Structure 1
Amino acid sequence: MAASRLKVYTSAPAYRSPWAAVNLSVVMPGAGQIYGGAVIKGVVIAIAFFLLLGFSIWSIFAGNGNTLTGLWLLLPIAGIYLGSLIDAYRTITSDPVRLTLGPEAPKDPWYAVFLSQILPGLGHLYRQQAIIGGLFLIIGTYTAFQANFQPRLLLLPPLIWAAACAHIYWHMVPRQARDWSLLALILAGLVAGRLLIGFTPPLIGHYLEQCIVPSDSMQPTLQVRDRLFVREDPSYQPQPFDIVVFRVTQAAVERLLVQPDSLMVKRVVGLPGQQVEVRNGQAWVNGQALIEPYLELPISYRWGPQSVPAEHLFVLGDNRNFSGDSHIWGFLPTENVLGKAYKIYWPPGRIQPLP
């Protein structure tokens, strides 16, 4: 058996495995086509995939992007990815693609590697190595699940996936026939791709906060249940008229009876050191009346004048007469500010950038 396998992989140096091509396209769409000799097609597939992926990410997260467009683009992106796998196989052979663990499964070791890319240990189960396959499967899926809650484990699942692929390849291919350079390329792409996928959500969470508008206090600018992207930046310096998201103060908890861990959305009206007053139906800063075209009604209450303390802000809702804001619970410490809200990303009919 070993001799026959050796003959297959050593007597024909130009041999290209269709399942090796599939493995390459798993880690990067188009790579399998390049491996199979269809270089131009592979490059076109790779460019199309990454251009669409980049535009989708931009559409979802950029202030001027349309979130819905970005989400819809995930369908053609998935189509290109899956299509590239099938096409990579057919670039080398016209045989039908067979995904099976039964007796009709291909005997190509790269098929076992492909199965192990899907789930660690699946390639071993295909080779009827139940014990080690089960161990890889249990350990791999368990660590992947735990990594969702413990970021320090994010490196572990890709390494387990790679180890499973390397082990089944080492077991199935005789020493003289092993193509370690091709395997190393596939494993490097596997680890890099899964690390990128694993670290992307925490990375996004480090720079962006999501907030659901809890009340009508910011109408008409914001509606109840609008979903906002908030840019978190330690060096952010609030500016007049910025819409900011912040953790509620203790005074707000006591006056408004809100939960201590709640988030609020208001507009910056006064900065540290400025004198703020509300009279004659509008807000005044340092004796100058503010021009606020986003307000639908004049302000019906009077407040101040008071100077904004250092490291504090004076914030008001756009729906001034029905907003629990600084005129009720006082000045906002800047340390409570999470960041500036820069985009309504949902619902679809409300998607728009915020000034």
Structure 2
Amino acid sequence: MKATPTVLVGRRPPKSPWLAVNLSAALPGVGQMYDGAIARGLVLFALHLGLIGFVLWSIFAPGGNTLRGLLSLVPLLGLYLFNLWDSHHAAKRGITLDQFSPLRYQSKDPWYPVFLSQVLPGLGHLFLQKAAIGATLLILGILTAYLANFNPALLPLTTVIWAVGCGLVYRAAPVRQRQWGWLGLLLVAIVVTRLAISSIPFVVPQMVVQCIVPSESMLPTLEVRDRIFVRPQPADYTPAIGDIVVFSNPERTPPSQAGELYNLMVKRVVALPGQQVDIRLGQVWIDGSPLVEPFLAEPIRYEWGPAMVPEGHLFVLGDNRNQSRDSHVWGFLPRPHLVGNAYKIYWPPQRVQPLT
């Protein structure tokens, strides 16, 4: 009698644990989706996005707590490591012990050297004992990553070297059947994710400028060595009375360097173009009306004006009026010197607060 082949119902094809790890390393949660755990992968992806959003909001938003945002990097790292472990563990459930052994990565799973090359290009080749190409990729990867710190135009080249290293090591690994489709997806994810992450140090300074308060001229609002975030403002930015602004010192900065991040000062906008300023009787008068400034610790002990603020200029004073070298000393602030408005004290932790 002819034997009937046995059909194993419900048994899924074996998955590669290290392909799952590679996918989750490039994009958290995707390894779980590859394993078939779609819901868990989506949850992990959403948790990573949520934590990243919380970190960014806490650090950069006016109402965020900078220290809490920095501390949140610890659970974010823990979640990322769990994501790698979970993707590996989920894939292992579909294979038997004789198909998987940590001591047989080189011959059984070509995705393990790919993972090493995700860590640093060339590591996978060194693992496969291909020293020449491994050392070359390692040097190129580290060198371009270092040079990209000074030239952002090199960022795409750095990510391409990482991706090429992963592709070449997969091609060099001994294996009978290759999964080129998964490799292509992985390489795209590596390029996109690494380019996005490596661009952060260059994108953030375009949106936020860091400044250290240099003097006591803004007491009690700002203390010496408070670290503040400043929104760089476009040319059409219209300051409002009461804004705390950062600008290049007009006494020490030539017009050709106006607005550059050198010789910075921090003051409060008191009057705008076209307004008449008069300082008398211990307070500021704008167009004949007293300016309400509850943040001042003491009355002003000098007199100035009256004078009209010319077009293209601002009248700025320090909150510590009697100990501040500002517009009442060196005159109106030319708009080209303006860097932006300060919106948050982000350090030290006990001083974190929004600036209005």
Same fold (TM over 0.5): yes
* Matched ranges for 1:1-355 at <5 A: 14-93=13-92, 106-107=106-107, 108-172=109-173, 177-234=177-234, 235-250=236-251, 261-355=262-356
Report deviation, 1:231: 0.5
Q: Is the 8 A contact 1:244 1:266 kept in 2?
A: yes
Most deviating of 333-342 and 29-38: 29-38
Q: Secondary structure at the match of 1:250?
A: coil
Most deviating of 17-26 and 42-51: 42-51
Q: Secondary structure at the match of 1:313?
A: strand
Report deviation, 1:104: 6.4
Distance 1:43 1:149 in 2: 37
Q: Is the 8 A contact 2:15 2:92 kept in 1?
A: no
Q: Secondary structure at the match of 1:178?
A: coil
Q: Is the 8 A contact 2:253 2:263 kept in 1?
A: no
Q: Secondary structure at the match of 2:315?
A: strand
Report deviation, 1:277: 1.1
Distance 1:55 1:142 in 2: 33
In structure 2, relative to structure 1, the CA distance for the partners of 1:189 and 1:251 (3 Å cut) is: closer
Distance 2:212 2:46 in 1: 36
Runs (4 or more) in structure 1 with deviation over 2 Å come to: 12-15, 103-107, 250-253
In structure 2, relative to structure 1, the CA distance for the partners of 1:252 and 1:188 (3 Å cut) is: closer
Q: Is the 8 A contact 1:251 1:330 kept in 2?
A: no
Paired amino acid for 1:36: D
Distance 2:21 2:101 in 1: 12
TM-score by length of 2: 0.89
Q: Is the 8 A contact 2:314 2:333 kept in 1?
A: yes
Q: Is the 8 A contact 2:106 2:128 kept in 1?
A: no
Distance 1:251 1:20 in 2: 59
TM-score by length of 1: 0.90
Equivalent pairs: percent with the same residue? 52
Paired amino acid for 2:74: L
RMSD over aligned CA atoms reads 2.1
Residue by residue, what CA displacement relative to the aligned partner does 1:44-87 show, whole Å, maximum 9, x if unpaired?
11111111111111111111111111111111100000111111
Paired amino acid for 1:243: I
Report deviation, 1:13: 9.1
Q: Secondary structure at the match of 1:120?
A: coil
Q: Secondary structure at the match of 1:149?
A: coil
Return 5+ residue gaps in structure 2 as ranges. Answer: 1-10, 255-260
Q: Is the 8 A contact 1:251 1:329 kept in 2?
A: no
Paired amino acid for 2:177: A
Q: Is the 8 A contact 1:25 1:32 kept in 2?
A: yes
Distance 1:93 1:261 in 2: 57
Report deviation, 1:14: 2.2
Return 5+ residue gaps in structure 1 as ranges. Answer: 1-11, 254-259
Report deviation, 1:252: 8.0
Paired amino acid for 1:23: N
Residue by residue, what CA displacement relative to the aligned partner does 1:14-53 show, whole Å, maximum 9, x if unpaired?
2210000000010111111111122222221111111111
